[in-house]
Amino acid sequence: MGDSPFTSAVVVAEQVRSGVSSPMEQVEAALAAIAEREPKIQAFAAVLGDHARAEALALSRRPDLATLPLAGVPVAIKDVIPVAGLPMREGSGATSAEPRAADHPVVARLRAAGAVVVGLTTLPELAVWGTTDAPGHITRNPWNPSRTCGGSSGGAAAAVAAGMVPLAHGTDGLGSIRIPSANCGVFGIKPGRGVVPSELGATSWFGMAENGPIATTVDDAALMLSVIADRPELARIGPSEPLRIAVASGSPTFLATVDPQWRDAAVRAGTELTGSGHDVEPATLPYPVNLIPVLARWTAGTAADAEGLDRRRLQPRTRRHVALGRALGRFVRPQQVNRLEDSLRAFFENYDVVITPALAQPPLAATTWSERSWLSNIVANVRYAPLSALWNLVGWPAASVPVGTHSHSGTPLAVQIAAPPGGEARILALAAHIERVGGGWPRVAPTR
């Protein structure tokens, strides 16, 4: 077969609002695409066929359908936030199978805007890891099924990249939107703290975790972000004014080496932006030397999320993570972040945004990481995806933007754009400029 058909969320909503199409037609198209491609990719924890059809029918009868920003757009929700009437399993056999009573605010806002939930996407247990699999289940990269789609929003990115849905919800605690978006060649943005309701687990990993959109176009992601942030102006992407852009292509840690093709992708993006009137120069970000603040929040946040669960039913790697978190919780201190944020604000006195590689290495193998040791998961995750956690620690916005293809793995390349608080619109405008100047990236992976 050839390339999968693609219609953007913006176009779907326009067609439904104008009466050219209907919510039911769009839902049926998404369900057909899922039926065709899901067996190979395994991106969904649950497909909501009859439920989605009933939702589409009810939507078609709404008197305000012609005004809804996401009218009839099929969306997928990561199985880590509540969806009314459905269990929230969080990729784990230890969580409750009881249905949730109410929607998370993000789901409620999407539905109020006319979106139709067609499925719940896969994730690694408790959203901890940078690969997405469970015993007997591996979610694969649509561009190269032998490689991982990433994590923890792996199913979300894979579903969008495979053309099964135009929009997917993701969460990002250490890069969990940006890492799979980079793996799968789609656009994903983690908003800054407080822009979108978080309400993730017990503590949102001490403020590191956010909800955000994954899409195949910047316009689509901006539209979804405007809805879940309840800020309509974010959907209107303006031209990217001349910016002072830093390109930080190096590794943030001695534990990881940046693959030359990933490094060159960031440098090349900077060079192309120089030709578009931006002031671009190489720079070195003030990455933290001490990794305890991130590790403590990551592990202790997971330990808080695991409270009340039968830990015997957790995967061994997650049990070890939780045990470490119970010991490291005392090291979670606000002043650690304050000092780091001060150094970043000093850095950004000279720049408006920074561009880095989105990953340090191509996607890991699509295999049973859930059955491997805690240490092997940690080492693999840090070596291939060390560049995103900084922005979670300080709560600043960052996005992953596709920019090419890795010649060895056949999977996409991407750059990360980050900015100080309030920089979502600036990031979207610059990402849209990269998208436009580059002629747009392939919208969906070819089906085979």
Phi-psi region of 445 (alpha: psi -120 to 50; beta: other; left: phi over 0): beta
d(C-alpha 223, C-alpha 366), whole Å: 32
Q: By the 8 A CB rule, do 342 and 335 touch?
A: no
Catalytic (active site) residue 152:
yes
Choose the catalytic residue: 21, 152, 226, 240.
152
End-to-end CA distance of the chain: 6
- Please report, for residues 6, 140, 298, 403, the alpha-carbon distance to residue 187 in angstroms, rounded to integers and kept in the order given: 15, 18, 24, 10
| CA torsion, ordered 279, 283, 288, 294, to nearest 10 deg | 50
Catalytic (active site) residue 78:
yes
Choose the catalytic residue: 4, 8, 176, 400.
176
Residue for token pair 């990360």: 416
Q: By the 8 A CB rule, do 137 and 16 touch?
A: no
Choose the catalytic residue: 78, 190, 388, 400.
78
d(C-alpha 443, C-alpha 426), whole Å: 23
Catalytic (active site) residue 190:
no
Q: Which residues are catalytic?
A: 78, 152, 176
